[in-house]
Amino acid sequence: MNYKEKPIIPTKAVLDELSNINLDLEEVSNILEKGFEIRKRKKDIIEKGIIKGAKIINVVVVDMESYYKLIHAGQFTLTKKFRKLMEDKDEL
């Protein structure tokens, strides 16, 4: 799968994380394309997420110039505090 015309290559550890949350590389690509930025990271690191029910699915990739290295995939509970933070961010 690709993101911005570069392949997404997962680390071995991320393959386990993907398996644990029932996610595949096609879904990772969709999250990167259509998801929202969760927090600001270093210049070459992108973290995006989507809301799925009461959970947020997030992925983190590093731009290695010729490809994206997938270094993390996880999920966490959507709390009222985080939802409020996201709503406030959208108003800016």
Tens place of pLDDT for every residue, the chain, 92 residues? Answer: 899 999 999 999 999 999 999 999 999 999 999 999 988 888 999 999 998 888 999 999 999 999 999 999 999 988 777 777 766 666 43
DSSP notation for 16-43: HHHHHTT--HHHHHHHHHH-EE-S---T
**pLDDT confidence of residue 92:** 38
Looking at the chain, the number of H-run helices and the number of E-run strands are 3, 6
Task: With CA atoms as reference, report the closest residue to 27 among 59, 69, 4, 68.
Answer: 59
Give the CATH number for residue 53. 3.30.2310
Domain that holds residue 67: 2-91
Residues 61/72, Cβ–Cβ less than 8 Å: no
Which residues does residue 61 pair with via DSSP β-bridges, in sequence order? 46, 70
The total number of structural domains that make up the chain: 1
Taking residue 88's Cβ as centre, other Cβ atoms within 10 Å add up to 9
